[in-house]
Structure 1
């Protein structure tokens, strides 16, 4: 029975409390006071000074200064004498943190005037004769008390203030810049694009996305002509949520809305609301809507809204609200707070609409959810036309051909492909980008960098050749397998070999199609078993793929007769801790998935045994040329018996040089022979 791993629960870290920061500042202030302070001095009489210090010769120097019509005298004891027991009470401790612990003074006494002090010192030292050096008095003017006060009080305070400003700037991300960060923590970080800094992106710059553009164009019309709808009793929608895979153009579409509407456009990310201080996120939401009301009509665009819009209560093991939930609550309040005729429209984008809070998606908040799908072949043509404009390409490049070569590519993938092709053309010294540069760019993006110098033994190379020949043979002879157009045993990326396919663009998949794909994926391991009588670890990616497909057939799509028309798939991820079926059902699912895989493996073995001679020919050709194409397979196997049904696209997609690609939407269709793939 398959063991379902338990999800590791990470404890929530404690919230940051400002009280601890204030306590740390107060402790630091007194600590600095102690550090900057010198060792305390002991007050004595002149007689004690004369008998215990001056006559024994322990005095290093005397410093006198006038204080309140009297003369204060500071006594500095010689450093070597401070080690004696009689000076133990004023000697500096070894662990003292004072900046100048040995500088003294250690004692002090007071005299009525400087004249009296000089007379007493002269009389005391005359009795010593010439056996001991005389100690002179140096006089200092300490009439300005501000110097000592500044050093002892203001300097530590200034250091504390500087540290506070530095911490606040770091914690607030430098909002407002300079010392203004202290007061701008709760301000919105949204970037405003208005007439002075207007966005020049329009719908003409957004290729494809026909249905999505129709939805958002109505929002633009709302902003330009609101009375057209309000006169009929209609209400301007409050929000539109763009949902789609990464790279499909959600942010670009929002910019086009702002460019077409010619209204102020506030742009920010969901993570801009996140802050470690309590209440800062909610404060920024309030400030954002306050600015938006002043600029209405306008658009607020929040990219990656799932950073603050995740469903409340999930993942919070302590049972209380965290800062992210407070921010979401404030956003919900603000979206309900402004009137429908205020002219403020919120647009948001996310890749994870399934994790968003239900209150955020209800009518009255995000009234419209616009799904931005992967572009189809016609939309890819339009996207290529946009991205090829700045590139110098050779005459005769067929955009239709490029669109057919890139099934499953998003708009960002196509932009990257065009740029990569230009780089490859420059590397090869071409004056313009040719067709082969685009094909090489596709291989580079999908398969990785080619590694012709990778060290591979003869036995490994033979195993890789038969593995890839097995994939090619089975896929060529199965009705619903993706048409194979290229096989290589040249290492590329993490793979030691790969098979390229050009699949159909279909929306649904039948049971027969899944089984044929699984059989084709297992053809590599089956070929190794037939050719060498043993198998290797090179089929890791194939096994991962077929295992997922088998379990999906049984537990998700209801394609298994024994389990029946039941799906245990949880689209909202609410069953992450418990499985929605019993132990008996789990055992049945495991058995049926294993049965499907073993049946397709046996089927692949049978197909390869029936075509053993052609399998050997194909593997030997791979060992000789390292790369083979569709035409090579036709010479060995002949025309596919079912090509007449679905080869209309394939006939045009294969280039004149018989060089093509695999499906980017299903990266596992490039069957690798490396266990790490």
Structure 2
């Protein structure tokens, strides 16, 4: 820390000092060339004009050098219109003191003789010869060089500043941009602020404990891990875990992003890596955290078609060497986070570098409840708010999504003038985040409204009749975001998915277009998102999960992420035709299945659509009135249904079929 103090106490050349120097030079020239500061604003006059003023008794005084003469007029002469332009100084005040004019002198002896004669005749009060000053002329010559020197000094100071300075500091471009946190920094995030993620916290906490008490592990021959890689979907809390490490560890913590190594200059990335580890070793034991490491850690030689030297590869090579090279230091632990571990270089993932890969998954219902409780602490909420209910309504939400829901709910409550955030505000916030803002003023013709209602009723009818389809929560034809209508579901949280479950979901998704076909014998463009979803599901069944009988137990999925660099597909043209045929067969089969279900329940479909047109929003109770109890409901779904009846509007599910 002493180095920082020395840097702070070092004199810094401010740009204002540079501007002040320039103004000071200008004032010095004025003083030394003219004998002082002159605000009289004299105008030039010819020598003959001066003699004319002199003969007409208008001149009071003359001061001159060998080349120039300053002319001071009498007060009475200044009152005439002839001298109106010189009667004011630069500030607009009467120019009484003068001089009012100046003139160039040709023959100094003749000029001085003329002045003497005028004084003898009483036409001139006085005249004075001033000695020539060399300072003004000297400063005029030296000024450009002085200004260039000052500017050069200013730029050198800027370019050779500290590593944490601005982007113009060329001489510090190879320095590390890592931000240092230690026990003196105000780090408020601890493991108590990280809800859920029990397994990840346990492994991360062990690294912190090793740095605090290394003898606990080394006494029995254990070695500290060189690095830990946090892997998981976006928003699951990888960076938050690293912040908690910074808050818990009593050792220096260097934090930076993978893109901080990348620069347009060759060799800068490797230089910054060396400087980063040099600083970390000087303060060891210490922790380095690199966020989004895939920016610098991609597999080498996969995207270098030109054959040229790749700056990113040089940076990665230096990082590999520093982590576990010939002269590596075991007292520096590297933490890194990414959501694209499949594209990382294999050398980076081997033991001795990133010894541990900690997977940070999406939270389950229990962890979501804990996350809600953390983010609800600063919010004024209603006493009857049940966090377990909120956790059930947000399957598939990450920690960042839940934080966004809580903030959006608070904004909605404030917009409505409430003093506390209620359950309905959270449900509206889920709707707002997933589906977008309601657009009740959108112009929809009666024909379009009926088509949308039939489409959404088709989704509801098919999903109600299928065992493995997600339970329906709500159907709406109110435009929201880019969709004209939506069907909301509460999906079951599964760890594995079976073919019959995927087929039922595909069939329910095709229910909208099938309903249009059954009722109108026409189809429309409203099923775009449905078609996109079922096409991805069918392609995954055929090419990824090996769930197709024709192709058998084979997958074309590459977990290493190298397929994107290949120019050819990993299968023949004949196999490609089979894949296309099987995908189409799956989709068309479920489409026909949905048509058959809707034809058997055509009257109920129309009745449901009519209710939807009338109310614009229908709930699970409305479907039960038409179709009867759904035999596939489980206890947990019925419990959620009981909670839903307590609200006037229910918007509980992130799985939405948008049209």
TM range (shorter): 0.7 to 0.9
Q: Does 1:485 align with 2:480?
A: no
Looking at structure 1, the residues matched to 322 and 485 of structure 2 have their Cα atoms a distance apart, in angstroms, of: 56
Deviates more, 1:277-286 or 1:467-476: 277-286
Pairing of 1:130-529 with structure 2 (within 5 A): 147=139, 149-150=141-142, 175-177=163-165, 181-337=169-325, 342-529=330-517
Q: Does 1:578 align with 2:568?
A: yes
CA deviation after TM superposition for structure 1 residue 497, in Å = 0.4
SS at structure 2 position matched to 1:259: helix
Q: Does 1:616 align with 2:606?
A: yes
Looking at structure 1, the residues matched to 166 and 242 of structure 2 have their Cα atoms a distance apart, in angstroms, of: 32
Q: 1:607 — aligned with what? A: 597
Specify every segment of 5 or more residues in structure 1 that has no aligned partner in the other structure, as ranges: 1-72, 74-113, 120-138
Looking at structure 1, the residues matched to 651 and 157 of structure 2 have their Cα atoms a distance apart, in angstroms, of: 57
Q: 2:37 — aligned with what? A: none
CA deviation after TM superposition for structure 1 residue 649, in Å = 5.3
Q: Give the TM-score normalised by the residue count of structure 2.
A: 0.77
CA deviation after TM superposition for structure 1 residue 471, in Å = 0.4
Specify every segment of 5 or more residues in structure 2 that has no aligned partner in the other structure, as ranges: 1-66, 68-104, 111-130
Looking at structure 1, the residues matched to 341 and 140 of structure 2 have their Cα atoms a distance apart, in angstroms, of: 64
SS at structure 2 position matched to 1:595: helix
Q: 1:52 — aligned with what? A: none
CA deviation after TM superposition for structure 1 residue 285, in Å = 1.4
Q: 1:670 — aligned with what? A: 656
CA deviation after TM superposition for structure 1 residue 246, in Å = 1.1
Looking at structure 2, the residues matched to 629 and 445 of structure 1 have their Cα atoms a distance apart, in angstroms, of: 20
CA deviation after TM superposition for structure 1 residue 393, in Å = 1.1
Looking at structure 2, the residues matched to 644 and 180 of structure 1 have their Cα atoms a distance apart, in angstroms, of: 64
CA deviation after TM superposition for structure 1 residue 117, in Å = 12
CA deviation after TM superposition for structure 1 residue 573, in Å = 2.5
Q: 1:567 — aligned with what? A: 555
CA deviation after TM superposition for structure 1 residue 118, in Å = 9.4
CA deviation after TM superposition for structure 1 residue 115, in Å = 11
Residues 309-363 of structure 1: CA deviation (Å, up to 9, x unaligned): 1111122222133222221111111112487874221111111111111111111
Paired positions, count: 543
- 8 Å CA contact retained: 2:343, 2:562: no
Q: 2:586 — aligned with what? A: 596
Looking at structure 2, the residues matched to 338 and 302 of structure 1 have their Cα atoms a distance apart, in angstroms, of: 22
Q: Does 1:587 align with 2:573?
A: no
- 8 Å CA contact retained: 2:427, 2:652: no
CA deviation after TM superposition for structure 1 residue 198, in Å = 4.7
Looking at structure 2, the residues matched to 648 and 203 of structure 1 have their Cα atoms a distance apart, in angstroms, of: 36
CA deviation after TM superposition for structure 1 residue 663, in Å = 4.2
SS at structure 1 position matched to 2:580: helix
Looking at structure 2, the residues matched to 469 and 447 of structure 1 have their Cα atoms a distance apart, in angstroms, of: 18
- 8 Å CA contact retained: 1:401, 1:652: no
- The verdict on how the C-alpha distance between 1:381 and 1:116 changes in structure 2, with shifts beyond 3 A counting, is closer
- 8 Å CA contact retained: 1:235, 1:340: no
SS at structure 1 position matched to 2:583: helix
2:637 is aligned, of 642, 647, 650, to 647
Report the aligned-residue RMSD. 3.1
Q: Does 1:546 align with 2:534?
A: yes
- 8 Å CA contact retained: 1:235, 1:341: no
- The verdict on how the C-alpha distance between 1:224 and 1:147 changes in structure 2, with shifts beyond 3 A counting, is same
Looking at structure 2, the residues matched to 273 and 414 of structure 1 have their Cα atoms a distance apart, in angstroms, of: 32
- The verdict on how the C-alpha distance between 1:356 and 1:442 changes in structure 2, with shifts beyond 3 A counting, is same
SS at structure 1 position matched to 2:586: helix
SS at structure 1 position matched to 2:296: helix
Q: Give the TM-score normalised by the residue count of structure 1.
A: 0.75
CA deviation after TM superposition for structure 1 residue 176, in Å = 3.8
- 8 Å CA contact retained: 2:196, 2:367: yes
CA deviation after TM superposition for structure 1 residue 392, in Å = 1.1
- The verdict on how the C-alpha distance between 1:460 and 1:558 changes in structure 2, with shifts beyond 3 A counting, is same
Looking at structure 2, the residues matched to 222 and 277 of structure 1 have their Cα atoms a distance apart, in angstroms, of: 38
CA deviation after TM superposition for structure 1 residue 562, in Å = 0.9
Q: 1:634 — aligned with what? A: 624
